[in-house]
Amino acid sequence: MISPLAYIDPEAKIGENVEIGPFVFIDKNVVIGDNNVIMPNANILYGSRIGNGNRIFPGAVIGAIPQDLKFHGEETTAEVGDNNTIRENVTINRGTAAKGKTVVGNNNLLMEGVHVAHDTIVGNGCIIGNQTKMAGEVIIDDNAIVSGVVLMHQFCHVGSYVMIQGGCRFSKDIPPYIIAGRDPIAYCGINIVGLRRRGFTNEQIEIIHNAYRIIYNSGKNVTEAIAQIKAEMPMTPEIEYIISFVENSQRGIIR
């Protein structure tokens, strides 16, 4: 299962049933779990932590040092969970002193050429399209779909169950359950198809839609809109998440 043409540092820890192709490089201070497939020419560098059941395609680089001039060799990690598909030429840098780690959760698809910068956190069940680039300390919540060639400013937060149109760029947060697109990027409605596919009921979808009508179509500023939602709408988990997301947004939400 391990090609004789691969290099594996003696200090690396490799789990059971791991397939490692030719010309793979696995550095010291690397931990790789069980049932992974690491294809030819992938690089798993110092500080990488790989869970179970992942497929890592040729040319991927996990654990390279951050592209951040403030990094001075701190002991940090790049952590990948379970059952991810990491396609060709994906780069996942390790963390800096800011958070200490970069994290990709479970059951994600990172398509060709995706860049996950230092201290970024990608949740579970996300699909990230070809050549999409995340700057440092981006947060993407669970079940987000980000199309290809999307550029994310550092510190941005992307909510769960969003759909982001290909070719977008943004420097503000994208709240959950919505479609974001156009140029400049803007709110384009809620992600009805995606929510139905994920099992949301018509009642849940209507409540989410009503909340965003207040935020985006009432003419109120964000503070006034959130106050109206709190006063008039039932505090379902979806509404609580929207309120928390907006109130805790450091960069402000897209309009």
Contacts of range 11-18, beta carbons closer than 8 Å, 24 or more positions apart: 12/44, 15/52
The Cα–Cα gap between 194 and 198 comes to 6
Select which of 47, 63, 95, 136 is catalytic. 136
| Residue 34 is among the residues annotated as catalytic for this protein | no
- Could you tell me the maximum CA-CA distance found in the chain, to the nearest angstrom? 66
Select which of 27, 68, 119, 141 is catalytic. 119
Select which of 27, 118, 129, 173 is catalytic. 118
The Cα–Cα gap between 224 and 57 comes to 48
| Residue 119 is among the residues annotated as catalytic for this protein | yes
| Residue 47 is among the residues annotated as catalytic for this protein | no
| Residue of 139, 108, 138 lying closest to 124 (CA atoms) | 108
The Cα–Cα gap between 72 and 65 comes to 10
Q: What share of the chain is helix, strand, coil (3-state, %, to 5)?
A: 15, 30, 55
> Any residues with CB less than 8 A from the CB of 72 and at least 6 apart, and which?
none
- Catalytic machinery residues: 118-119, 136
